[in-house]
């Protein structure tokens, strides 16, 4: 029996206005599609942590980094084994993280302030050490300990309950296949334009067909199934949190399909850095 599929748009400081969003789904269509079955939101980290630890089987794609660049960790003299590194990192305050990372950047030349993980290039993702715009370093600090405390299995990083599998996802990976660099979301109401709404509608249409321009299949190899009400809600969410969660859901679905076909590592590349982690599908 297939597990629940989960896509997570994460916030390190969730609130009613900007909650953590989970898209829930199930494989369908002979494994070639994922059906969106629900959306759940959490406005506190403890509530989200309680959901993760609940008695259910799932494979999830989470839009937050699972690691920091090896170069950064070694320069700071932190542990270079993933569990020990995480224990050290989670014991720091956000102010301490900001201070150490800012000092690291200050000592580097212009144009190369941030260190990067190997996965950042193929994924097109922000450096996981950034503490602003977006504050992904704080997302890591807030979110990964919740996954570990829930007993989740993070392939190649830490062994846990294989009935709850957490993978690092990145919605931009799939969104850019369809839209290129066109913007489809904005938290600022003044920037929530008809053009961005049209981009969300176009993105959703591509997910429903499973293809980008010219009929080229999306890299996930999956299409989305969703009823009319859920489709309308995805387009109506001008902040893009719900459609980002759905993008992560499809990336989790692709990982699950790889596992069901016999890949114990859920499609992750075997030669990846086991300290830095890797974005599924990159």
pLDDT band at residue 214 under the 50/70/90 scheme? confident
C-beta neighbour count of 187 within 10 angstroms:
12
Torsion angle of alpha carbons 77, 82, 83, 85, nearest 10°?
A: 20
pLDDT at 1: 82
Express each pLDDT in 156-210 by its tens digit. 999 999 999 999 999 999 999 999 999 999 999 999 999 999 999 999 999 999 9
C-beta neighbour count of 211 within 10 angstroms:
16
Express each pLDDT in 90-108 by its tens digit. 999 999 999 999 999 999 9
Query: What single string gives the DSSP state of each residue in the chain?
Result: -PPEEEEEE--SS--SSS-EEEEEEEEETTTTEEEEEEEEEESSHHHHHHHHTSS--EEEEESS-S---HHHHHHHT--SSHHHHHHHHHTS-HHHHHHHHHHHHHTS-TT--S---TTHHHHTPPPTT--SSS-HHHHHHHHHHHHHHTTEEBTTTB--EEEEEEEE--HHHHHHHHHTT-----SSGGG--HHHHHHHHHHHHHHHHTB-GGGPBPTT--EEE--HHHHHHHHH-TT-HHHHHHHHHHHHHHHHHHHHTT-TTTT--TTS-TTT--BTT-
The rounded distance, in Å, linking the Cα atoms of 265 and 255 is 9
pLDDT at 30: 81
pLDDT at 31: 83
Ramachandran angles phi, psi of 89, nearest 5°: -65, -45
Q: What pTM did the predictor assign?
A: 0.97
Express each pLDDT in 102-145 by its tens digit. 999 999 999 899 999 999 999 999 999 999 999 999 999 999 99
pLDDT at 213: 84
Express each pLDDT in 226-276 by its tens digit. 999 999 999 999 999 999 999 999 999 999 999 999 999 999 999 999 999
What value does the CA radius of gyration of the chain take, rounded to a whole number of Å? 18
Residue indicated by tokens 């709850």:
164
The rounded distance, in Å, linking the Cα atoms of 143 and 138 is 8
The residues facing 23 across adjacent strands are: 7, 39
pLDDT at 47: 98
């Amino acid at each position: 029996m297939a597990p629940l599929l989960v896509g997570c748009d994460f916030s390190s400081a969730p609130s009613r206005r900007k909650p953590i969003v989970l898209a829930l789904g199930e494989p369908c269509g002979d494994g070639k599609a994922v059906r969106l079955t629900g959306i759940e939101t959490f406005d506190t980290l403890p509530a989200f942590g309680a959901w993760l630890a609940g008695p259910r089987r799932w494979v999830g794609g989470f839009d937050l980094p699972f690691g920091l660049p090896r170069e950064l960790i070694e320069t700071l003299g932190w542990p270079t084994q993933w569990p020990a590194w995480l224990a050290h990192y989670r014991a720091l305050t956000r102010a301490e993280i900001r201070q150490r990372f800012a000092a690291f950047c200050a000592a580097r030349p212009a144009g190369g302030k941030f260190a990067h993980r190997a996965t950042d290039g193929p994924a097109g993702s922000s450096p996981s050490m950034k503490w602003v715009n977006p504050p992904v370093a704080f997302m890591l600090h807030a979110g990964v300990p919740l996954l570990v405390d829930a007993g989740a299995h993070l392939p190649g990083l830490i062994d846990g309950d294989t009935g709850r599998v957490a993978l690092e996802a990145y919605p931009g990976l799939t969104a850019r296949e369809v839209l290129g660099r066109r913007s489809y979301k904005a938290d600022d109401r003044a920037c929530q334009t008809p053009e961005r709404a049209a981009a969300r509608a176009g993105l959703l249409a591509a997910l429903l067909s499973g293809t980008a321009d010219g009929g080229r299949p999306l890299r996930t190899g999956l299409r989305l199934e969703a009823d009319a009400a859920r489709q309308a809600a995805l387009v109506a969410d001008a902040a893009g949190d719900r459609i980002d969660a759905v993008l992560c859901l499809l990336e989790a679905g692709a990982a699950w399909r790889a596992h069901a076909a016999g890949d114990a590592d859920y499609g992750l590349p075997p030669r990846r850095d086991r300290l830095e982690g890797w974005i599924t599908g990159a």
